Amino acid sequence: MDVKEWLVRWASDNLHEGYTDTQASMEKAATDCRSAAEEAGISLSSLDAAADGDLAAYLRDFKDNILDAPGGN
């Protein structure tokens, strides 16, 4: 599994509950994601690259456009 696939899986599995669309909540999600990535042996530079350079913004967009969209997970 490449880093982008890992990131999509993490976001799908973890952004459902407990995170809102606020900046603080997405920063917390990014921190949690970075911790999980390190545990999985993924470098933070690879994770940031997979998130197009801004992990919190990537996670917010993922939540808004995938999870919260009609018919989303």
C-alpha distance from residue 42 to each of 1, 13, 65, 66 (Å): 11, 17, 25, 23
Summarize pLDDT for 19-58 with one digit per residue, the tens.
777 778 889 999 999 999 999 999 999 999 999 999 999 9
Token pair, residue 10, equals 């993490």
In a domain, 33, yes or no: yes
In a domain, 54, yes or no: yes
Separation of alpha carbons 43 and 4, rounded Å: 12
Summarize pLDDT for 7-18 with one digit per residue, the tens.
999 999 988 766
In a domain, 72, yes or no: no
In a domain, 51, yes or no: yes
Note the pLDDT of residue 69: 62
Domain count, the chain: 1
In a domain, 48, yes or no: yes
In a domain, 49, yes or no: yes
In a domain, 73, yes or no: no
pLDDT category at 73 given cuts 50, 70, 90 is low
Give the residue numbers spanning the domain of 27.
3-10+20-67
